Amino acid sequence: MEFIHEDDGRITARDLESGVASFGETKAEALQMLAEALACHEGAGKPVTDEDLEEWGLDDVESGDTELPEFMQ
């Protein structure tokens, strides 16, 4: 594991074995976020459902669409 101190003050924690990284305002927060990212990387996350896509406004997005969904604008 390595910690990277970013120019904006955040700290990135990176797992050297998997390459997964996450960040936080403190080392403790970065580690907590990294633990969550590693859990998802290892399959502990839940699959995205059609209901999730609809809630996020992505249910009608076609491959190759260039317009960003509303929540990303």
Q: Is 0.85 topped by the overall pTM?
A: no
Tell me the per-residue pLDDT of 34-45, one tens digit each, with 9 for 90 and over. Answer: 999 998 888 876
45 and 39 Cβ atoms separated by less than 8 Å: yes
In the predicted model, is pLDDT for residue 73 greater than 80? Answer: no
In the predicted model, is pLDDT for residue 66 greater than 80? Answer: no
List all residues 6 or more positions away from 38 whose beta carbon is below 8 Å from its beta carbon. 15, 18, 20
